Structure 1
Amino acid sequence: MDAQRSSGHPTGRRVTPTGLVLRWALLPCVAALIGLAGCDPGEDESRVLVIVNSKPITRDEFEYRWSELPASVQARYKSEGGRRKFLDDLISRELLLQEARKLGLDRTPRAIERLERVKEQLALDELMKAAVTAQVAFSKEELEGYYALHQAELHAADQMRAAHILVKSEEQARDLKRQLDLGADFARLAVRFSLDQATKYRGGDLGSYRPGWVEPAVDTALLALKPGMVSEPVETASGFHLVKLIGREPESAAEVAAVRERLRQELYAEKERQQFEALLSRLRGTAAIRMVEASRFVTEDAGPPPAAPAP
């Protein structure tokens, strides 16, 4: 959903595909060092693309690493030599990796510590997938209910036809509202009483209106109205408004669909959060946690731990 930035680097310096692939391939590289990736030297040669100092790079490995690249990096490769250039960068990466191993850099205390951190993160990622993400589900009825709770956001995608009357005091605004409730004509009251010179002689007609064009308080009032309804007085820096929703038309099916998709993702994220909190609460509820020297070295109050779920 988010567009990739074209610069790709905060300093504005051009980042070459070689640099990108070396960085992007770091995690698979580390995984290979700890036995989570790699290939058998006796690999069927029909699957081997190139051998670098007896280390084969297979078609499967090539395709996997290519698929892991962001779309923007793949596009850059396609404009600067294509997959053949990518293979050349994999060869360079393998040569650098072999040199690092020859120098024992994969066995230094710092490297071993970093490998442990990567293994921990991989384990946590897998737990989140299995115990949180895979458990998230909601029915069509629940999703429709979520849409109903966020009608204002769905209406924000609409183009509205609205009118208003602007007066100086709340008392006058309430008096006009009483007259409107008794059947007075909105346009005539606007011509007679509105202080907005740009709209009063059009009966207060704001024309085609989109949320965000005027004060947020006016937006809020409009989004809560049904066509033909008039709001209660709305106070802004200009005075007090009576706002009428004349009609509402969906801007476009694509825009409404985009809002619905965003709301669906919000519901999904909320379900994920609830699932995560339930998991953490269950683990804390059954764990033996004993503070030893924490009171001496950690002085900030983290607040009470979450309560265990009711049985």
Structure 2
Amino acid sequence: MMKRTNRIAPALGAWLLGAACLVAGAARAQDEVVARGAGAAVTRAEVAGLSRSLSPEGRARLLADAAARDQVVRTLLAQKAVLAEAKAKGWDKQPLVQAAIEQAQREVLLQSYLAALSEPAADYPPEPEIQAAYERNRATFMAPRALHLAQLYVALPPGADAAAVDGAQKKSADLARRAQARGADFEALAKMYSEDKASAARGGDLGFVPETMIQPAVLAAANALKRGEVSAPVRTPTGFHVLKLVEVREAALRPLDEVRAQIRAALREQRAQQNVQAYLAKLAAADAVSIDDEALKKALVPSQ
């Protein structure tokens, strides 16, 4: 069964390319300008188009990241400036460029029309098909074993010399000793001394981490702990980790309710592809097509 993913990068790249190839019309020229520079402008309508092209997650990430928004706008302004320069020089009139534009237009028309034709009915798939797909793909929906960890972290700068390594090791060993003491407050120690600011703010809590995402040395140390125990310092390329095992969650099948939307989307995409193939096969049926094979072979040989 196919998986659907929503990524900001592909959607953003496609939008930037598409927007840079549009010729601004009178209506767009009158739209509110949100950025200007390099002899071009970005309008509110163009930003709204970007927003519609992104997944909710991608839109939220862009809203939360001022640097990413800035880069999007600067890239679009630069592309539009280049586009204006190319058109001013008649670049779009070159035969090869015209052929590429026409091919792109045909591709957009073809794909959008086929997408409209192949869209499954709104009530597809029915619940029994969703259930059957869930049962067929149980391995796909297994949540891996995960460890709930907390840490005290002492960083090592890139290229640290022997003295820096020794100092970090001694600091982490002291933190481990204090965290292992009877009645120790691991959370307070992490907030005060851990050098991973994100987890330190949570008392060192890393949450549940799938074991497939844990570095081998850290995983080996964590697996040797009992619930509530604290490890000796574990060295990784970036520093020393003093670990506390909070809880272990064994591998388990994710409930159907948790993956129903994912299954429904995959089945709809699969059905749409089947509809497209059936439609194309019908149009290209053997009794509906006449092929001059000799002429075809001549056309495949480049002209001198």
TM-score range, shorter-chain basis?
Answer: 0.3 to 0.5
TM-score by length of 1: 0.45
Higher RCO (C-alpha under 8 Å, 6+ residues apart): 2
- Structure with max Cα Rg: 1
TM-score by length of 2: 0.45
Return the structure number with greater helix share: 2
